[in-house]
Structure 1
Amino acid sequence: MSLKDPPIKKYRREEQSSDESENDDKYIPYIPVKERKKQQLLKVGRIIQLTAEASASTAAKSSSENEHDEELNEEVWGRKFNISLLDQHTELKKLAEAKKVSAVEKQLKEEEKILESVAEKKALMGVAELAKGIQYEEPIKTSWRPPRYLLAMPAYKREEIRDNLNILVEGDDVTVPIKSFKEMKFPKPILSALEKKNIKKPTPIQVQGIPTVLSGRDLIGIAFTGSGKTLVFVLPIIMFCVEQELRLPFIRNEGPYGLIICPSRELAKQTHEIIQYYCKALHQGGLPEIRSCLAIGGVPVTEAMEVIQKGTHIMVATPGRLMDMLDKKMVTLSVCRYLCMDEADRMIDMGFEEDVRTIFSFFRGQRQTLLFSATMPKKIQNFARSALVKPVTINVGRAGAASMNVIQDVEYVKQEAKIVYMLECLQRTAPPVLVFAEKKQDVDAIHEYLLLKGVEAVAIHGGKDQEERSRAVEAFRKQQKDVLVATDVASKGLDFPDVQHVINYDMPDDVENYVHRIGRTGRSGINKGLATTFINKSTEQSVLLDLKHLLIEAKQRVPAFLGELCSETEKYLDVGDTQGCSYCGGLGHRITDCPKLEAVQSKQASNIGRRDYLSNTAADY
């Protein structure tokens, strides 16, 4: 090329290079835009239908593509690439749904594995029964029978009664529901004693529960707080004891025939007073005297021993004191045929599980076992069934649900402003008012502050002696004091019929405790109650999520700051047979995120490490 030749333009160079490439043997085909888009879509995996077709076409394609192959390819894929945005959106939606379903299935499988791994393998039975392989096949027989016209009631009518009262029943040959105390065949002294207490007709749990217990069946009773569960096990045991006393009077040091175990001293004392009330009414009506004793910590054993030496029919006890008396052979369970565990799940949660298992070993024969609580997750129910014979499960409402008679008010209050704001809250309703706090020092601080402000207040917690605790509860119950400040020792089972307002100074770590706390108001379905709860940044998010879903379930107002909370697993909450966590019953999380399970596992792990360390050090010396 000479200097005089004109410069070659870019397009001429391109043409020249293209001409040269035509003659080249090693021809690399050009990939069209459509083909590249198709490959990109396949790589990303956004359209389901393309995946199958792409794999088929890739296998069929040869390494060198000619023009004919490209035309065929356009026929196969052209229409797919020309789909509208609406169609693409529909495809993407289908894919998202498919992914969601697979994620839900994965979640449920994972939960089943976790629940199986934490399920109690050891049956809730006595050591001797386990060792000898003793298993009772049939429930205990009793002399009680329902009226004949009720026995003749067809099955669909029984179901109608249960449906109307929202009673859910599981079990074989369930006894007919009975809607009046008179038809339950209680004697006149009991009926008149009930009327004096303004109890005219049975509550739903009593309608199905009392006939079930009277017929000798083992029972798991679940109903919201204040629904009258105590009478379900108190009235039948009194009648059984009257029957035993009439047949053959109890002699010295004999008994008890019935044993009732409660998790707290206050609840045991309250249950004992209820038993004494009805036993006294029977004795005044001309029936034999039924003796009952109270065995709780903080009270001298001599008080219980005086009754035991005369021959006792019913014993109400806390696990610690009962274990002590059994170990020292102060009392025997050789003739005991009736066992009731009130607030059973709380007892197991509080670490009394091994004590309960040991207590079972002191029985000398089959017993009728009853378990009651307002909050009993499936895990506890399945565990408890190992000790029961053909049990009947009676459920009035969801286990762990809040009472519908309580208006729940949740407020965001800064930590430093709580105690001052509480004074304003006290003025919302007339006394008596219950104030709950988590820590003992908070209870003492609130109590002292209220006294300084001229409020008639009393306080109870585990650090106070039993005499002081009993005095405080009695003064509050008789309305000599306006406010009772307490930890969770006062939250389970205690009955204060006139309490209109419960204030949660702080949100408990466990939503089950919250349900028990607010259940101290709005009891027996007569009055509405108010529950005010203070929360702030110090409250755990997992507990707040449980609280949020509890409010939604009870159709309560959910504050904006609570409504904004959302967890990763929330989209799975309503999937499957159960709602929420199958371990603790909380609605705001699943078992995979359960803080309670995590705490239990951490404790077990730390105990294992500590035990190994201690055994090693012992071996060294």
Structure 2
Amino acid sequence: MRFDELELEESVLDGLDAMNFQETTPVQALTIPLILQGKDIIACAQTGTGKTAAYVLPIINELSKGIHPANAVNAVIMAPTRELAQQIDQQIEGFTYFIPVSAVAVYGGTDGVAWEQQKRGMEMGADIVIATPGRLISHLKMGSADLSKASFFILDEADRMLDMGFFDDIMQIYKCLPKTCQTIMFSATMPPKIRTLAKTILKDPEEVKIAISRPPESIMQTAYICYDAQKIHILEQLFQQKPPERVIIFSSSKMKVKELTSVLKKMKLNAAAMHSDLDQPQRELVMKEFKNGHIDILVATDVVSRGIDINDIKLVVNFDIPHDPEDYVHRIGRTARAGGEGLAITFVAVEEQAKFKQIEDFLEKTIYKIPVDAAFGEAPAYEPELNKRFLKRRGSGRPQGSGKGGNSKGSSSSSRNRNRKNPANTK
């Protein structure tokens, strides 16, 4: 479907034409007409499907008609992270080039000057407020935000916000909105807690489900079944074979991210870390440098796995297994954007095999396992069911016993000793 087939104002279509937006994505074709009809919506669509434009365009369209209050907040868009809030703000700026609709992004991790700018933007009546829950509540408590005239309330990545513990914050903000407010929820997954939230805040909603979260076929998915101590050596070999360019390496802990970044820098590789301990200016600088190509490798926690639109990522490496299959999909979805191709490599240690098998089951496919170079020692067999039962008997931690790994053929205890010497090799 083309955008000019939708009931959008000419000024909105002019902006889309200037940005060379012609064809809608499936989620846009399904949701934009419903939002224009004033219906509450719960939509299941993953990152990369064009969901931001799916709710931003109809909201801008309605605000452009001039029938909403001047000098008042007319739309509230909630986002789980400041990075996603900034990205939404940038898209709105592009779409409103020919339209007198204003927006302000409200998020934490900034100095007093930014706070005052956010406060002034809301007090002057920015049409659209894009906010993280915690910072918006701070402004509400200080009396610098008035949501009593808002007509639209949007939750982007609602599942992520609930995972981050924002349920009470969302409800507190929701209670500050008028009962006539149109509410729109977007979520990549639809677990019971999302259903519960939807029943609480949505009025007779329409449900839109594009497809179950699956990575595009244009991503070549591969894995190494290895010991934990072998991971860094495999990574080093990969970058010796082909110099890294536009690479994201994901790890589940910020401590591991810091250690791994340090090790990569010692290898004379151009790497930078992205994690929650960085303040906002530092995070913005890292993202800017990576997007501009001044950084080859971004080592990150899941803070950048969702909602960040980075083009031309060549390779995604899962240094360890994410917490659930959906997180795996979001991680590797950073590559092969906009119809391109990409490569995803996952390192699977013995104790991670059961979780990796869950990912394969979720994807309903077997991911190709690349043989580990014999120079790094014997690799473990892929026996997820055996290791799952073993871990249950042990109760925790690393499997003990007859495995071999590392740089030499030794016992698994010797691998653990090597891990202690090099913290970047540990989980």
Identify the TM-score tier after normalising by the shorter chain. 0.7 to 0.9
Partner residue of 1:263?
80
1:410 counterpart residue number: 223
Please tell me whether the aligned partners of residues 225 and 403 of structure 1 are also in contact (alpha carbons under 8 angstroms): no
Give the residue type in structure 1 aligned to 2:350: K
For residues 272 and 8 of structure 2, the distance between their equivalents in structure 1, rounded to whole angstroms, comes to 39
Give me the whole-angstrom Cα distance separating, in 1, the residues matched to 2:11 and 2:259. Answer: 47
Task: Identify which of 244, 247, 272 aligns with 2:67.
Answer: 247
Other-structure match for 2:359: 547
1:472 aligns with 2:290: no
Q: What amino acid is the match of 1:276?
A: E
Residue correspondence of structure 1 range 432-581 to structure 2 within 5 A: 432-524=246-338, 526-539=339-352, 541=354, 543-553=355-365, 556-557=367-368, 564-566=383-385
Q: Is the 8 A contact 1:375 1:401 kept in 2?
A: no
User: What's the offset of the Cα at 1:479?
Assistant: 2.3
Residue type of the alignment partner of 2:264: L
What amino acid is aligned across from residue 419 of structure 1 in structure 2? I
SS at match of 1:339: strand
2:56 to 226, 234, 242: 234
Deviations 1:459-493 (A, max 9, x none): 21001111100111122122232221111111111
- Quote how far apart the aligned CAs of 1:409 are: 1.1
What letter matches 2:231 in structure 1? K
Q: Which residue identity is paired with 1:432? A: R
**Contact 1:544-1:562 within 8 A present in 2 as well:** no
* Structure 1 residue 352: Cα displacement: 0.7
Larger radius of gyration: 1
> Which residue, 202, 212, 217 being the options, matches 2:39?
217
Do structure 1's residue 354 and structure 2's residue 171 form an aligned pair? Answer: no
Partner residue of 2:25 out of 180, 203, 209: 203
Q: Is the 8 A contact 2:123 2:145 kept in 1?
A: no
- Counterpart of 1:278, as a letter, is F
Cα shift at 1:234? 1.2
Q: Report the secondary structure of 1:538's partner residue.
A: helix
- Match of 1:221, SS state, is strand
3-state DSSP class of the match of 2:223?
strand
Structure 1 counterpart of 2:94, which letter? Y
Deviation (angstroms), 1:401: 3.2
Cα deviation digits, residues 563-601 of structure 1 (max 9, x gap): 75349x9xxxxxxxxxxxxxxxxxxxxxxxxxxxxxxxx
| Separation (CA, whole Å) in 1 of partners of 2:195 and 2:216 | 21
| Contact residue 402 and residue 550 of structure 1 kept, 8 A | no
- Could you say which residue in structure 1 is the equivalent of 2:415? none
TM-aligned CA distance change 1:538 to 1:198, over 3 Å: farther
Report whether the alignment pairs 1:290 with 2:105: no
CA contact (8 A) 2:324 2:359 kept: no
How many pairs align?
Answer: 377
**Equivalent pair of 1:319/1:356 in contact (CA under 8 Å):** yes
Task: Give 2:75's aligned amino acid.
Answer: G
Say which SS state the counterpart of residue 222 (structure 2) adopts: strand
Flag structure 1 segments of 5+ consecutive residues without an equivalent: 1-178, 570-621
How many Å separate the matches in 2 of 1:275 and 1:359?
22
CA offset digits 1:370-421 (Å, max 9, x no partner) = 11122222452344233211211111112x4334432221211322222232
Is 1:420 aligned with 2:233?
A: yes
The aligned amino acid for 1:180 is R
Structure 1 residue matching 2:345: 3-state secondary structure: strand
Q: Matched residues in 1 for 2:46 and 2:260: separation? A: 29
Task: Supply the distance in 2 between the matched residues of 1:345 and 1:468 (Cα, whole angstroms).
Answer: 27
In structure 2, the gaps of 5 or more residues are 372-379, 389-427
State the distance in 1 between where 2:183 and 2:217 align.
29
> Using the alignment, how far apart are the partners of 2:381 and 2:364 within structure 1?
11
Aligned-partner SS, 2:310: coil
Contact 2:119 2:139 in 1 (8 A): no
Letter of the aligned partner of 2:126 in structure 1?
A: T
* d(CA) in 2 for partners of 1:352, 1:266: 17
Structure 1 Cα separation of the partners of residues 196 and 214 of structure 2: 19
Deviation at 1:239, TM superposition (A): 1.4
1:48 alignment partner in structure 2: none
* Residue of structure 2 aligned with 1:336, choices 126, 150, 174: 150
Q: Give the share of equivalent positions with the same residue, in percent.
A: 32
In 2, Cα distance between equivalents of 1:193 and 1:395:
27
Please list the CA deviations of residues 243-295 of structure 1 after superposition, one character each: whole Å capped at 9, or x if unmatched.
Answer: 2xx236613xx2x111111111111111111111212x22xxxx4x2111111
Q: Distance in 2 between matches of 1:196 and 1:456?
A: 36
Q: Is the 8 A contact 1:226 1:522 kept in 2?
A: no
Deviation per CA, 1:145-192: give whole Å up to 9, x if none: xxxxxxxxxxxxxxxxxxxxxxxxxxxxxxxxxx11011133455445
Distance 1:408 1:559 in 2: 10
The secondary structure found in structure 1 opposite 2:165 is helix
SS at match of 2:185: strand
Which residue number in structure 2 is paired with residue 183 of structure 1? 5
Partner of 2:93: 276
Query: Which letter does structure 1 place at the counterpart of 2:357?
Result: L
Contact 1:272 1:292 in 2 (8 A): yes
What is the alpha-carbon distance in structure 1 between the residues aligned to residue 182 and residue 310 of structure 2? 30
How many Å separate the matches in 1 of 2:75 and 2:276? 28
Cα distance in 2, alignment partners of residues 558 and 207 from structure 1: 38
Q: Classify the secondary structure of the residue corresponding to 1:515.
A: helix
1:91-240 matches, cutoff 5 A: 179-195=1-17, 197-240=19-62
Instruction: Tell me which residue corresponds to 1:137.
Output: none
Corresponding residue of 1:126: none
Match of 2:394? none
Distance in 1 between residues matched to 2:173 and 2:76, nearest whole Å: 11
Equivalent AA in structure 2 for residue 464 of structure 1: L
Tell me, in whole angstroms, the C-alpha distance in 2 between the residues paired with 1:517 and 1:239.
33
Counterpart Cα distance in 2 of 1:454 and 1:207 = 48
1:350: Cα distance to partner? 1.3
2:182 to 349, 355, 368: 368
Change in 2 beyond 3 A, CA 1:476/1:337: same
Cα distance in 1 for residues equivalent to 2:109 and 2:119: 15
Alpha carbons of structure 1 residues 303 and 413: separation in structure 2 relative to 1, 3 Å = farther
Q: Distance in 2 between matches of 1:540 and 1:362?
A: 46
Contact 1:418 1:534 in 2 (8 A): yes
Is contact 2:225–2:348 with CA below 8 Å preserved after alignment?
yes
**For the structure 1 residues 361 and 229, does the alpha-carbon distance in structure 2 shift closer, same or farther, using more than 3 Å as the test?**
same
Q: 1:261·1:318 contact (CA, 8 Å) conserved in 2? A: yes
